[in-house]
């Protein structure tokens, strides 16, 4: 998509002109044109605000620009600095920032690029001259609601088109739809055909192939996927069950969920069925027939390694927790009609002996009881130092100081560019060098902040561990649901190693098990 440029005089510029410093807009136009050339941006239209009004209402070019941005015409807008877009009136600032946010349009200044598509782009919030994070969240929620409404109308609401399509603006309406890219659509048809009816081999026969072989074949043919350099079987799997290819719109399929794992917040997109998923007929045309799609879905369902396990029906309270110390596989429950359930290693050649599940369970609960009595703490204090005496505050302020310094150097370079002391090339060199240093510093700052966060989280995890163990030890046997039991154990048990060398009557409890508590790793 193309870019446009917006030029506006500030009051200071107007005063400088009166002092005879030359025409501002012409100078800015030249500077930004040079800058765009250096950055490889194609500028299609230049808006020049002749009047010097501060509000949107008093700025006809700004009104035009905003209506075009909201239609999604521009990938980005170049301005000398962010103040040229909005200053002062906070309602106007809100309107402008929301318009850019909704349209996913970048704001590009010679110093920085603000990218609203990247919700983790800290710099975007600096554009929050404007917006607080809370406002952003509100807008984001509204944006989500708008997206749901659009999806129900059959519009395509994702930022990126799925492989096989490109995203196009809907004529005479807001929003986007998909249009097939012929070369890619052919690849999609191939994928479905190879999976459902087969690929033609050298000897002329046809053979069905699975997702890994499909990925390999595409890589072999040097066909590029949308993301990354190579196809993976996961990509193929996602495509085979994506109803977009039969002309449907699916939204909210795998919403990101935040989860605490080992005291860290991890964002995952679970592949489960989601109740809030919207599936409806899209405006766009399909690439493959429903018959082929359904056939793929059926084959996909038969393929055991692809099916989703119904976690809620687990009958094994230790599911996923016990590792065979001999071969590294996860131990499983085996149902036994005559005797109690067994815990076995699923590897056919492994010679680790099985045990009664309830005996292992009892052993684990005994350990949890000991943890709840505080025995974990001695172990904890040696193994997991809490670095509360660590002086991160002064380190953080030192980093912030050098960040400020770099920013002021960057401003000086910008001034030199603006006043014509630097040409575009010199400015590019200088600002790139400074920006790189700045990124380095910001990375350091982020990792320091992460560390501080980790320390605080770790302190919390450790302080909560014993009470949690107490609670679980006390209530475990009153819970009848195995899924719930499993959840409880997973709150405090990271995993356990299991080994048993002897078998037979009298050796039922001869297993050796190490239970690892779910406590933070040693800091690096």
Tell me whether residue 352 or residue 431 sits nearer to Zn ion (CB atom): 352
- Candidates 168-176, 249-257, 318-326, 354-362; binding stretch for Zn ion (CB under 5 A): 318-326
Q: How far is the CB of 329 from Zn ion (least distance, A)?
A: 5
Is 129 a binding residue for Zn ion by CB under 5 A? The answer is: no
Chain Cα centroid distance, residue 188? 25
Q: Which pair of tokens denotes residue 296? A: 């793929």
CB 314 within 8 A of CB 486: yes
Q: Which region, left, alpha or beta, applies to residue 447 given φ > 0 means left and ψ of -120 to 50 means alpha?
A: alpha
Tell me whether residue 326 or residue 444 sits nearer to Zn ion (CB atom): 326
Angle of helix 424-475 relative to helix 357-370, nearest 10 degrees, comes to 100
- For tokens 């200053």, name the residue: 87
119 vs 101: CA distance, rounded Å: 10
- Candidates 141-149, 199-207, 348-356, 374-382; binding stretch for Zn ion (CB under 5 A): 348-356
Q: How far is the CB of 139 from Zn ion (least distance, A)?
A: 53
- Candidates 228-236, 291-299, 327-335, 508-516; binding stretch for Zn ion (CB under 5 A): 327-335
Is 512 a binding residue for Zn ion by CB under 5 A? The answer is: no
Among 1, 327, 421, 433, binds Zn ion (CB under 5 A): 327
Among 103, 185, 240, 324, binds Zn ion (CB under 5 A): 324
407 vs 321: CA distance, rounded Å: 50
Tell me whether residue 16 or residue 347 sits nearer to Zn ion (CB atom): 347
Residues β-bridged to residue 96: none
CB atoms within 10 A of CB 17: 14
Q: What angle do CA 338, 343, 349 make, to 5 degrees?
A: 105
SS3 content of the chain, % helix, strand, coil (to 5): 50, 15, 35
Q: Which pair of tokens denotes residue 163? A: 């492989």
Binding string to Zn ion for residues 154 to 193, with x set by CB under 5 A, is what? Answer: ----------------------------------------
112 vs 83: CA distance, rounded Å: 13
Tell me whether residue 62 or residue 344 sits nearer to Zn ion (CB atom): 344
Tell me whether residue 280 or residue 327 sits nearer to Zn ion (CB atom): 327
187 CB-near residues (< 8 Å, 6+ apart): 163, 164, 218, 223
- For tokens 């506006």, name the residue: 8
Q: Determine the 3-state secondary structure of 307 from DSSP.
A: coil
Q: How far is the CB of 327 from Zn ion (least distance, A)?
A: 3
Tell me whether residue 48 or residue 326 sits nearer to Zn ion (CB atom): 326
Binding string to Zn ion for residues 385 to 424, with x set by CB under 5 A, is what? Answer: ----------------------------------------
8 vs 17: CA distance, rounded Å: 13
Tell me whether residue 352 or residue 355 sits nearer to Zn ion (CB atom): 352
465 vs 459: CA distance, rounded Å: 10
| Closest CA relative to residue 239, chosen from 264, 263, 260, 211 | 211
Tell me whether residue 112 or residue 325 sits nearer to Zn ion (CB atom): 325
Q: Which pair of tokens denotes residue 226? A: 């949308």
Is 306 a binding residue for Zn ion by CB under 5 A? The answer is: no
Q: Using CB under 5 A, which residues numbered 354 to 373 contact Zn ion? A: none
45 vs 205: CA distance, rounded Å: 56
Among 95, 148, 347, 359, binds Zn ion (CB under 5 A): 347
Tell me whether residue 349 or residue 378 sits nearer to Zn ion (CB atom): 349
Tell me whether residue 328 or residue 420 sits nearer to Zn ion (CB atom): 328
Q: Which pair of tokens denotes residue 171? A: 């004529």
Is 352 a binding residue for Zn ion by CB under 5 A? The answer is: yes
Q: How far is the CB of 319 from Zn ion (least distance, A)?
A: 16
Q: How far is the CB of 511 from Zn ion (least distance, A)?
A: 13
Tell me whether residue 128 or residue 320 sits nearer to Zn ion (CB atom): 320
Q: What secondary structure letter does DSSP report for 371?
A: I
Q: How far is the CB of 499 from Zn ion (least distance, A)?
A: 9
CB 414 within 8 A of CB 110: yes
Among 326, 330, 484, 495, binds Zn ion (CB under 5 A): 326
Is 350 a binding residue for Zn ion by CB under 5 A? The answer is: yes
Tell me whether residue 329 or residue 490 sits nearer to Zn ion (CB atom): 329
Q: How far is the CB of 338 from Zn ion (least distance, A)?
A: 24
CB 483 within 8 A of CB 502: no
Q: How far is the CB of 353 from Zn ion (least distance, A)?
A: 10
HSE at residue 109, side-chain half, CA atoms within 13 A, is: 18
Consecutive H or E run containing 277: none
Tell me whether residue 326 or residue 518 sits nearer to Zn ion (CB atom): 326
Q: How far is the CB of 154 from Zn ion (least distance, A)?
A: 51
Q: Using CB under 5 A, which residues numbered 486 to 505 contact Zn ion? A: none
Q: How far is the CB of 326 from Zn ion (least distance, A)?
A: 5
Among 5, 32, 345, 469, binds Zn ion (CB under 5 A): 345
Tell me whether residue 177 or residue 352 sits nearer to Zn ion (CB atom): 352
Q: What secondary structure letter does DSSP report for 284?
A: S
CB 440 within 8 A of CB 512: no
- Candidates 103-111, 183-191, 257-265, 340-348; binding stretch for Zn ion (CB under 5 A): 340-348
- Candidates 43-51, 207-215, 325-333, 428-436; binding stretch for Zn ion (CB under 5 A): 325-333
Residues β-bridged to residue 335: none
CB 64 within 8 A of CB 50: no
200 CB-near residues (< 8 Å, 6+ apart): 206
Site size toward Zn ion, by CB under 5 A? 8
Q: Which residues make up the interface to Zn ion (CB under 5 A)?
A: 324, 326-327, 329, 345, 347, 350, 352
């Amino acid at each position: 998509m193309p870019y446009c440029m917006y030029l506006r005089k500030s009051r200071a510029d107007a005063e400088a002109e009166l002092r005879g410093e030359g025409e501002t807009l012409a100078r800015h136009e030249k500077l930004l044109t040079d800058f765009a050339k250096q950055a490889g941006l194609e500028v299609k239209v230049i808006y020049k605000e002749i009047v010097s009004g501060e509000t949107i209402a008093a700025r006809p070019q700004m009104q035009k620009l905003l209506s075009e941005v909201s239609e999604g015409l521009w990938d980005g807008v170049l301005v000398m600095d962010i103040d040229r877009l909005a200053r002062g009136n906070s309602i106007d600032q809100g309107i402008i920032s929301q318009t850019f946010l909704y349209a996913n349009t970048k704001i590009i200044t010679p110093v920085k690029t603000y990218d609203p598509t990247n919700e983790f782009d800290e710099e975007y919030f600096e554009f929050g001259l404007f917006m607080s994070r809370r406002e952003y969240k509100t807008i984001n929620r509204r944006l989500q609601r708008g997206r749901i409404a659009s999806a129900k109308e059959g519009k395509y609401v994702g930022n990126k088109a799925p492989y096989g399509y490109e995203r196009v603006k809907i004529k005479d309406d807001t929003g986007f739809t998909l249009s097939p890219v012929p070369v890619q659509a052919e690849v999609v048809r191939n994928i479905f055909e190879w999976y459902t009816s087969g690929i033609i081999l050298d000897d002329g026969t046809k053979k069905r192939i699975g997702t890994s072989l499909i990925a390999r074949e595409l890589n072999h043919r040097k066909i590029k996927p949308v993301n990354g350099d190579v196809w993976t079987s996961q990509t193929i799997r996602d495509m085979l069950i994506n109803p977009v290819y039969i002309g449907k719109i699916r939204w909210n399929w795998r919403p990101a969920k935040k989860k605490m794992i080992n005291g860290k917040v991890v964002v995952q997109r679970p592949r489960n069925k989601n109740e809030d998923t919207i599936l409806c007929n899209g405006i766009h045309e399909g690439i493959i027939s429903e018959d082929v799609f359904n056939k793929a879905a059926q084959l996909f369902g038969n393929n055991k390694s692809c099916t989703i396990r119904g976690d809620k029906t687990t009958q094994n309270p230790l599911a996923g927790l016990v590792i065979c110390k001999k071969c590294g596989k996860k131990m499983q429950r085996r149902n036994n009609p005559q005797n109690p359930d067994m815990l076995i290693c699923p590897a056919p050649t492994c010679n680790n002996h099985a045990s009664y599940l309830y005996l292992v369970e009892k052993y684990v609960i005994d350990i949890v009881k000991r943890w709840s009595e505080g025995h974990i703490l001695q172990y904890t204090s040696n193994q997991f130092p809490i670095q509360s005496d660590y002086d991160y505050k002064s380190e953080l302020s030192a980093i912030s100081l050098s960040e400020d310094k770099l920013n002021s150097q960057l401003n000086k370079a910008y001034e030199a560019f603006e006043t014509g002391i630097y040409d575009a090339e010199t400015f590019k060199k200088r600002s790139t060098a400074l920006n790189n240093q700045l990124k380095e510093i910001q990375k350091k700052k982020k990792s320091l902040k992460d560390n501080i966060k980790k320390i605080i989280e770790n302190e919390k995890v450790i302080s909560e561990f014993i009470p949690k163990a107490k609670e679980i030890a006390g209530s475990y046997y009153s819970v009848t649901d195995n899924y719930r039991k499993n959840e409880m154990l997973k709150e405090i048990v990271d995993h356990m190693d299991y080994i048993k060398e002897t078998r037979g009557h009298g050796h039922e409890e001869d297993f050796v098990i190490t239970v690892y508590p779910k406590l933070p790793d040693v800091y690096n």
